[in-house]
Structure 1
Amino acid sequence: TAVMILFRGDLNYRKLVGERNCVNTVGLEPSMQGFIPAPIIAARTVKSETICGMPKGRYEMLKTIDPKWMQKGDYGVVQFCAKAEPFKPAAYPCLDYGDTCFGVTCPVHQDI
């Protein structure tokens, strides 16, 4: 089980939020639309129009300063989503137990 996942780079960030042009003030968690297998850190240099989790008014302020701020690569973001989905039993056979491994309830893998 992953303790945390780091998504680095503009392309990975866009994949994380599904290549959608989100409302820029909507947070990272709702922008991922349910994909939260572990706590996530997203770090990127902004080089495309996809962005979320900005404080209200920040997008407009940056657009006033430089209309092409999202394409130049002069700005970056680091975002954190602490929430994670609860553990789900594996859908594959447990190599030691020979049946479906249920992690904490598996007689062999209780430390998972």
Structure 2
Amino acid sequence: MCNINPELYQKLSESRLVIFKGDLNYRKLIGDFSWSYTEQFVTCLRGFLPTDFVSLRTVKADLICGLLEGQAEKVFEIDQNWMTTGEYGTIQFISKQTIYDKAAITSSLSME
């Protein structure tokens, strides 16, 4: 994005936190690619990291990343269609500073 729309990327870079909401925006963030469920969220962003951000999403498409090992399989045991029912959601946070410090990334799958 910094090459496609540098002004917008710069504007986002000036923010302390950007909140992305919704399934469509999540799919845009990860390029609408079918990543491994356990692929790190930061990897799936493919270099997009203007500032700290959080992604809030109700899962409505079979694209997801950043889950813990075995987490997707556990939910598939409960509901084979969990990725398209709209009954599950994710909250994923990335801190630009922690990425550069090689610290952990937080990801959560809501199963309520």
Same fold (TM over 0.5): yes
- Structure 2 residue 87 is matched with structure 1 residue 74: yes
Residue segments in structure 1 that go unaligned for 5+ positions in a row = 87-112
The aligned residue for residue 27 of structure 2 is 14
Equivalent residue for 1:59, pick from 65, 72, 76: 72
Deviation at 1:61, TM superposition (A): 1.0
Q: Answer with 1 or 2: which has the greater Rg.
A: 1
Residues paired across the two proteins, number:
86
Secondary structure, counterpart of 2:84 in structure 1? helix
Runs of 4+ more than 6 Å apart: none
2:96 aligned counterpart, secondary structure? coil
**Percentage identity across aligned positions?**
38
What's the Cα RMSD here? 1.6
Higher strand share: 2
1:27 to 14, 21, 40: 40
When the two structures are superposed, what TM-score results if normalisation uses the length of structure 2?
A: 0.72
Higher helix share: 2
Q: TM-score, normalised by structure 1?
A: 0.72
